[in-house]
Amino acid sequence: MFARVKTYKALARGVVLESIRRKDLWVVAILGFLILIGSGALGFFGVDGMQVFVKDLAVTVLGAFSTIVAVMTSTRLLPEEIKQRTLYPLLARPISRLDLLIGKLAGAIAVTWLAFFLLASLTSVALLSFHVRFEAIMVQYMVAKMMGLALMCAFGVMLSVYMTPSAAATTAFVFTFGSSILIRAMTSAYEVASPGMQFVFKFINAILPQFTLFDMGGRAANVGWDPVPMWVMAFLLVYLVIYGSGLVTIAWTRFNRRAL
Amino acid sequence: MSDAILVEDLQVRYRSKKGRWIEAVKGLSFQVAPGEVVGFLGPNGAGKSSTLKALMGFVAPNSGRCEIFGISAGTLAAKSRIGYLPEVAMYYPYLNPVETLMLYGELQGLGGKKLKEETHHLLEVVGLKDAKKKLNKSLSKGMLQRVGIAQSLLGDPDLLILDEVTSGLDPVGRKELRHLLLERKNAGATLFFSSHELSEVDMLCDRILLINQGKMVEERLMAPLKDELRNYSIAFRGQAPLHDLTQDLDAQGEIHRARFQTKDALMQAVARVQAAGGELVDIVSQEGSLEDYFINTIERAA
Amino acid sequence: MKIWYAPFAAVSLMAAIGWSTDEVTPKVNPPIRRERSDAGDSSLGSQIQTSASGWLWAYTEVYLANGIKMRRMTQKEAAENGFNDGRDHGTTVIPPPAKDFRGIFGDVDRSVNAWNAVQRFKQNDPRQCLPLFRLMTWLDPNFVEAWTNGAMVIAMDRTEKANQMAMEFLREGYKRNPDCVDIPTTFGMLEITRHRDFDKSIGFFQKAVENGQRRFDALSENEKQAFLSAYRWLTLAYRNTGRLKQMNQAIREGLTYFPDDQVMPGTGRPSIVPPASYQPPIGVTTRAL
């Protein structure tokens, strides 16, 4: 078990190092920070009244940018390994393909979390400059967001095993940004849908990755929302573990049989 | 004692992008004994890389058996005894050689100070002492090949499987590599490599396996093959009855030349010239061309 | 897999959901917008600007509802809730537990997202929407409602500083829309409600009326409302400053455009025309706002 953890750690560290040196993270962080600082120009009316807007902008920027990092990192990891043939010396070592998959996923999650931390730290500076008060829900927002990002990475890695990197990235973006729209549309249309369509809605809802459950941005950006109950956080964690494991398994069944 | 490599009736098929099945390896069988140095030769598309990939578990054979030291190929236990150099060595562009080796070392189960020391030692051995902190993306093809060679030697593996081992190396690099591989051989490691550089094969191998179109064409020990390929000739003045020893005779003025396939024939010819009172002008023993052998054998097989 | 498979599948899925009902109406574009005839409006850039500012307009509702997203009720929902008045009624995008088919996913959704039962709604301070108004006017300087609503929200503070800022905002908007009706009307309203300066307001209402008259045939429904409003305010301002002749003239003029209006004639009724010394109770106009 310890040896496996060591393997995952080594693989993840390689991914993180590459990502840092490729400067992807810095571009994201600087761009996000500039957007937030740029929002200061909207302080035409004074800082009063800006808090909700700035918080809303912050969670939007955090959500969007960290999602982009999660999708772009996770969907290109394995295809790049195969394309650049860096996979061969890796798999020549006494590690299984499942180990490689998990290690790479751990790397993608680490990179995404790092980007999220970087952006969140810069965001905090921007929020402080607008005298925004931090509420308990902000901490929960960050924890849930990190879980959601991990799920996105698992989703991205799974897609990348079955598709070309660009197709995987496009599909992942459709689902990460669009699943909430899809779910909202289904809940609105459910009552007036035919019984057959209602069954389809239930089926889609059951299999669709519920990324929207990990986004508390709506509460974090607005004022006076209580922290969510602990059972909800526990549910999110259990969902992440079960759904994430399912995604890794789906990826592994294909990757394990694949001729390299 | 188990063979270092055992391949039995190996078949590997790929599906092309158009959906057609391509048979890369068609019933290949061979063994490599522990401590042996075996060259795996064949023209492009002969099935060499596919065979090596099957040995590494990168592709699953459609039928047949591959074993490494008696363990099924591709398993963790089998891979833990192999050092592998892929055909085209690509390493993470944004890591440096030290980090690259540390990564592979950790995956090999190594770690701590020992891994660090081995990493630096190997990079020194392959001549990357001064470039070990440069990012891989800034290294030349030859230098990357050296990184690849160093990583394959990590953990002192019992078996080295090297695909196109000299690819990208300059003559100095090749010489250093030869030296390095001979050291491993002397240390008891088994070497199994494919190469298009027949001179390397000539200098390193105990045995060669020649394949074409996925099938074994010939399997030869190097020493007898070299003897077989060697040419012998004499030049002499005077007359001597040599027609029963060779048909390859000609004369330029008073100098006669005769060429022989074996050393025995040469010795007999020398004796007959001397007995007949002839004057020996020249005796030549010349290495045969492995390249000619390679081409002729492949052409014959095709 | 081909690159277009995924978006194609997603769009097909969404289309299938859309076809399954004709009752869900998206609420994206603002209900009120100024009609314009500029050719530039048809360019892609302008369309994007207009759509983005329209989206922001709709988004102010999210701010006002403390993050809770709303949608229009379907006909069935309206009927179930006893809203058969033919008007639009809102409900939360995330349905209440009784209406949600998603089970625990729905419960978690309601816990993590901004959601409250409609009965427990609270309206947020509209000033939180100010940056949105600023953005709207940046994106679409011809979005007159954004200028006027933004100014009214700024002026909510009822301090002189807030008034000045609102005026400044309106001046900026007027510079970009010199032929509009709404902005001069809002200027006048602010003069009356914040400074009780009926004299000064008259000039603004006159300008609004002048603009309305000039472009009457091209006015949108919203602008026509502003035009009517300008006449009503002008009438009131004339009355309260004792300029009865001008008041009657304005009423006559106004009724040629809005013959069914009851407010203008009501304002001018002799029984309620105050004496010249009359100081109007400011609360009346404040409540009217």
- DSSP string of C215-281, one letter each residue: TGGG--HHHHHHHHHHHHHHHHHHHHTT-HHHHHHHHHHHHHH-TT-SHHHHHT-GGGPPPTT----
Contact B56 A13 (CB under 8 A): no
Chain A residue with minimal CA distance to B14?
A259
The model's pLDDT over C130-177, given as tens digits with 9 standing for 90+, comes to 888 888 888 888 888 899 988 888 888 778 888 888 898 899 999 999
pLDDT (0 to 100) of residue C66 = 83
Chains contacting B (3+ CB pairs below 8 angstroms):
A
pLDDT (0 to 100) of residue C276 = 59
B52/chain A closest Cα distance in angstroms = 11
- Do C142 and C110 fall within a single domain? no
- Supply A201's token pair: 């809605």
Q: Which residues contact B84 (CB under 8 A, 6 or more apart)?
A: A88, A89, A92, B56, B152, B160, B161, B162, B163
Does residue C159 sit at the A interface (CB-CB below 8 Å)?
A: no
Residue C253 lies in a domain: yes
Q: Contacts of residue C123 in chain A, CB cutoff 8 Å? A: none
- Supply C17's token pair: 């959901």
Does residue C69 sit at the A interface (CB-CB below 8 Å)?
A: yes
Q: Report chain A's mean pLDDT, rounded to a whole number.
A: 87
pLDDT (0 to 100) of residue A124 = 83
A222/chain C closest Cα distance in angstroms = 6
Contact A89 B99 (CB under 8 A): no
The SS3 of residue B217 is strand
| Residue C203 domain boundaries | 126-272
Mean pLDDT of C30-50: 56
- Supply C247's token pair: 């008041």
Selected for mutation to probe chain A from C12, C112, C122 (highest A CB count within 10 Å) is C112
Q: Which residues of A touch B (CB under 8 A)?
A: 3, 6-7, 9-11, 13-14, 17-18, 21-22, 84-86, 88-96, 257, 259-260
Does residue C39 sit at the A interface (CB-CB below 8 Å)?
A: no
> Chains A, C: CB contacts under 8 A, how many?
161
**Nearest-by-Cβ selection for A45 from C95, C125, C130:** C130
**Nearest-by-Cβ selection for C113 from A50, A188, A218:** A218
**Nearest-by-Cβ selection for C111 from A49, A221, A228:** A228
What residue has token string 């308990």? Answer: A136
pLDDT (0 to 100) of residue C29 = 40
pLDDT at C282 over 50: no
Q: Contacts of residue C67 in chain A, CB cutoff 8 Å? A: 218-219, 221-222, 225
In DSSP notation, A109-129 reads: HHHHHHHHHHHHHHHHHHHHH
Which residues are bridge partners to B206 per DSSP? none
Contact A218 C3 (CB under 8 A): no
The SS3 of residue C26 is coil
In this predicted model, which residue has the larger pLDDT, C231 or A50? C231
Q: Identify the band that residue B33 occupies on the pLDDT scale cut at 50, 70 and 90.
A: very high
The model's pLDDT over B193-220, given as tens digits with 9 standing for 90+, comes to 888 777 778 888 889 999 988 899 888 8
Give the HSE-up count for residue B228: Cα atoms under 13 Å, Cβ half-sphere: 9
Does residue C154 sit at the A interface (CB-CB below 8 Å)?
A: yes
Mean pLDDT of B97-105: 93
Residue C248 lies in a domain: yes
The rounded distance, in Å, linking the Cα atoms of B256 and B235 is: 6
Q: Report chain B's mean pLDDT, rounded to a whole number.
A: 87
The rounded distance, in Å, linking the Cα atoms of C276 and C243 is: 9
- Do C100 and C150 fall within a single domain? no
Does residue C99 sit at the A interface (CB-CB below 8 Å)?
A: yes
Selected for mutation to probe chain B from A4, A25, A93 (highest B CB count within 10 Å) is A93
- Do C233 and C98 fall within a single domain? no
Q: Identify the band that residue C4 occupies on the pLDDT scale cut at 50, 70 and 90.
A: low
Does residue B94 sit at the A interface (CB-CB below 8 Å)?
A: yes
Contact A14 B148 (CB under 8 A): no
Residue C250 lies in a domain: yes
Does residue C52 sit at the A interface (CB-CB below 8 Å)?
A: no
Q: Contacts of residue A43 in chain C, CB cutoff 8 Å? A: 131
Q: Identify the band that residue C35 occupies on the pLDDT scale cut at 50, 70 and 90.
A: very low
Contact B107 A86 (CB under 8 A): no
Residue C86 lies in a domain: yes
A104/chain C closest Cα distance in angstroms = 22
Lowest mean pLDDT among A97-101, B73-77, C241-245: C241-245
The residue from C103, C121, C139 where one domain ends is C121
Q: Contacts of residue A40 in chain C, CB cutoff 8 Å? A: none
Q: Contacts of residue C28 in chain A, CB cutoff 8 Å? A: none
Residue C29 lies in a domain: no
The rounded distance, in Å, linking the Cα atoms of B257 and B261 is: 14
Chains contacting C (3+ CB pairs below 8 angstroms):
A
Q: Tell me whether chains A and C touch (3+ CB pairs under 8 A).
A: yes
- Do C132 and C259 fall within a single domain? yes
The model's pLDDT over A26-48, given as tens digits with 9 standing for 90+, comes to 777 777 777 767 766 665 555 55
- Do C95 and C138 fall within a single domain? no
Contact A17 B14 (CB under 8 A): no
Contact B60 A88 (CB under 8 A): no
Q: Which residues of C37-46 are buried (b: 16+ CB within 10 A; e: fewer)?
A: eeeeeeeeeb
- Do C97 and C211 fall within a single domain? no
Do residues A55 and A136 make contact, with C-beta atoms less than 8 angstroms apart? no
- Do C106 and C160 fall within a single domain? no
pLDDT (0 to 100) of residue C24 = 46
Closest CA to A57 of C128, B47, B7, C211: C128
Contact C124 A52 (CB under 8 A): yes
Residue C160 lies in a domain: yes
A13/chain C closest Cα distance in angstroms = 31
The rounded distance, in Å, linking the Cα atoms of C78 and C273 is: 45
Q: How many domains does chain C have?
A: 2
Q: How many domains does chain A have?
A: 1
Q: Identify the band that residue A237 occupies on the pLDDT scale cut at 50, 70 and 90.
A: very high
- Do C203 and C174 fall within a single domain? yes
In the sheet where B71-72 sits, what is the strand order? B21-32, B5-15, B63-68, B71-72
Q: What is the DSSP letter of C270?
A: G
**Nearest-by-Cβ selection for B91 from A86, A93, A260:** A86
Mean pLDDT of C234-261: 89
Selected for mutation to probe chain C from A42, A51, A52, A183 (highest C CB count within 10 Å) is A52
Q: Which residues of C12-34 are buried (b: 16+ CB within 10 A; e: fewer)?
A: ebbeebeebbebbeebeebebbb
Q: Cα B142–B145–B151 angle (5° rounding)?
A: 150
The model's pLDDT over B114-138, given as tens digits with 9 standing for 90+, comes to 999 999 999 998 888 888 889 999 9
Q: Contacts of residue C95 in chain A, CB cutoff 8 Å? A: 187-188
List the end-to-end C-alpha distance of chain B, in Å, as a whole number: 36
- Do C258 and C198 fall within a single domain? yes
Mean pLDDT of B179-205: 86
Enclosing H/E stretch for C207 = helix C198-214
Contact A10 B92 (CB under 8 A): no
- Do C130 and C117 fall within a single domain? no
Does residue B88 sit at the A interface (CB-CB below 8 Å)?
A: yes
ipTM: 0.88
pLDDT (0 to 100) of residue C31 = 40
In this predicted model, which residue has the larger pLDDT, C247 or C64? C247
Selected for mutation to probe chain B from A8, A78, A88 (highest B CB count within 10 Å) is A88
The model's pLDDT over B258-270, given as tens digits with 9 standing for 90+, comes to 888 888 888 888 8
Which residues are bridge partners to B10 per DSSP? B28
Q: Identify the band that residue C289 occupies on the pLDDT scale cut at 50, 70 and 90.
A: very low
- Do C137 and C102 fall within a single domain? no
| Residue A103 domain boundaries | 2-257
B108/chain A closest Cα distance in angstroms = 5
- Do C250 and C173 fall within a single domain? yes
- Supply B290's token pair: 């492995």
Contact B107 A259 (CB under 8 A): no
Do residues C229 and C221 make contact, with C-beta atoms less than 8 angstroms apart? no
The model's pLDDT over A182-203, given as tens digits with 9 standing for 90+, comes to 888 888 888 888 899 999 999 9
Residues within 8 A of A (CB atoms), C 133-152 only: 134-135
